[in-house]
Amino acid sequence: MKSHTTESIQSTNPRFHRLRKDGLYHPIPFMFVTDRMCDDILDEREMLLASLPAATHPRQKALFTSSDPKASSRAFKHLLRRFGYPFINRLTT
C-alpha cells in the first residue's frame, strides 16, 4: 500500500485566483471577505507559490499584493459594525 504522507496534494482549480497566460495567478477581487475566506485565500496563495518555480516567486508575490484579503476582511467587519450587525461583538478585530 502506498503512503501519501510525504506527498503534496494541490488543488487543480484555485477558488480565489485566476491562471494567467504567463503561468502566474491573478487574485479575484471580492467586495466582502469573511475571516474564514481570508484564511482560505492566504492558504491558497501559499499552495500556489509552492507549486510555482522559485524564479517566478517575486513576480507572483507582486500580483498577490494587488489584493489584500486581510484589509478586505477588516473593511467587511467595519461595515457590519457600522450597520449594527448583532453578533459583531463575537468577531475578532
Q: Has this prediction a pTM greater than 0.85?
A: no
* pLDDT score recorded for residue 13: 86
Examine the pLDDT at 76 and tell me if it is beyond 90.
yes
Q: Tell me whether residue 45 is in a domain.
A: yes
Examine the pLDDT at 85 and tell me if it is beyond 70.
yes
- pLDDT classification of 8: cutoffs 50, 70, 90: low
Q: Tell me whether residue 54 is in a domain.
A: yes
Across all residues in the chain, what is the average pLDDT? Answer: 87
Q: 10, exposed or middle or buried, with CB in 10 Å at 0-12, 13-18, 19+?
A: exposed
Q: Tell me whether residue 79 is in a domain.
A: yes
Crossing angle of helices 35-51 and 57-64, rounded to 10°: 160
Q: Tell me whether residue 62 is in a domain.
A: yes
How is residue 7 written as a grid cell?
506527498
Q: Is the distance from CB of 24 to CB of 58 less than 8 angstroms? A: no
Q: Tell me whether residue 44 is in a domain.
A: yes
Does 11 or 49 have the greater pLDDT score? 49
How many domains does the chain fold into?
1
| Residues in contact with 82: Cβ distance below 8 Å, sequence separation at least 6, in sequence order | none
Domain extent, residue 50, equals: 27-83
